[in-house]
A and B are shown apart, each in its own frame.
Chain A
């Protein structure tokens, strides 16, 4: 069964450093997403991406965050200057379309900011 692949599985970074989280969505999917989950809390939407541009973003997705699809397979989330409160699990997801199709999530990257 096709999978969404995320790397690394765990990343530790110092406060103020830049991090890039990487995702390989399912190849025939058109919509890409990033979500995050702080330990013990709900899964929160960050951003959706379609046709090489951001479709929708949440209040969490401020100027410190950016997304990119640098080639035909990868989808990345960059945090420019990490804060302690950015520590969370970050999940990438993809779908063929929204709503009428299921979303496939990756297994996540655990980001720890120290």
Chain B
């Protein structure tokens, strides 16, 4: 499994952009990069995923480095509801392995 490195915690002011980094230098060429978040006392929630190109959806943007060894999750305007633990997870795209391996993630605090 590809190893990931994320900051233990980050803080952001409400309504400001947040850039959450992730290093995944051992990622293989066929691994997708998934991001999930977990709000307090809730299950993980899918945020976004990508393979090589940058991706946007209604929740966030994902910027993937050209060498794919790192990625950044971008929340364009942080709200109090975005306070959560954010997980960056390489997901193998080949047959036979379907699990997501969660690390400790980055705990994001949003300051009003």
Q: Is A65 an interface residue (CB 8 A)?
A: no
Interface with B: A14-22, A50-58, A70-78, A79-87, which one? A50-58
Question: Is A102 a contact of B49 with CB atoms below 8 Å?
Answer: yes
B residues within 8 A CB of A50?
Answer: 98
Knowing A43-B38, A56-B98, A98-B98, say if A107 contacts B32 (CB, 8 Å). no
Q: Is A25 an interface residue (CB 8 A)?
A: no
24 contacts between A and B (CB under 8 A): A31-B98, A33-B99, A35-B44, A44-B102, A48-B98, A55-B96, A56-B98, A89-B43, A93-B43, A93-B44, A98-B91, A98-B98, A99-B32, A99-B34, A99-B92, A101-B49, A102-B46, A103-B34, A103-B36, A103-B46, A105-B43, A105-B46, A106-B43, A108-B43
Closest CB in chain A relative to B46 CB, distance in Å: 4
In the complex the two chains form, what is the Cα distance from A50 to B34 in whole Å? 21
Question: Is B93 a contact of A55 with CB atoms below 8 Å?
Answer: no
Q: Is B100 an interface residue (CB 8 A)?
A: yes
Secondary structure at the B interface, as helix, strand, loop or mixed, is loop
In the complex the two chains form, what is the Cα distance from A104 to B42 in whole Å? 12
In the complex the two chains form, what is the Cα distance from A91 to B87 in whole Å? 16
Q: Within A1-50, which residues are at the interface with B (CB < 8 Å)?
A: 31, 33, 35, 42-45, 48, 50
Question: Is A98 a contact of B93 with CB atoms below 8 Å?
Answer: yes
Knowing A98-B91, A100-B93, say if A48 contacts B99 (CB, 8 Å). yes
Q: Is B29 an interface residue (CB 8 A)?
A: no
Q: Is B45 an interface residue (CB 8 A)?
A: yes
Interface residues of A (CB under 8 A from B): 31, 33, 35, 42-45, 48, 50, 55-56, 58, 89, 91, 93, 98-108
In the complex the two chains form, what is the Cα distance from A114 to B45 in whole Å? 30
Q: Is B104 an interface residue (CB 8 A)?
A: yes
Question: Is B32 a contact of A100 with CB atoms below 8 Å?
Answer: yes
User: Which of the residues B34, B96, B98, B104 comes within 8 Å of A33, measured between beta carbons?
Assistant: B98
User: Which of the residues A42, A44, A55, A108 comes within 8 Å of B98, measured between beta carbons?
Assistant: A55
Closest residue of A by beta carbon distance from B105 = A42
Q: Is B101 an interface residue (CB 8 A)?
A: yes
In the complex the two chains form, what is the Cα distance from A105 to B97 in whole Å? 18
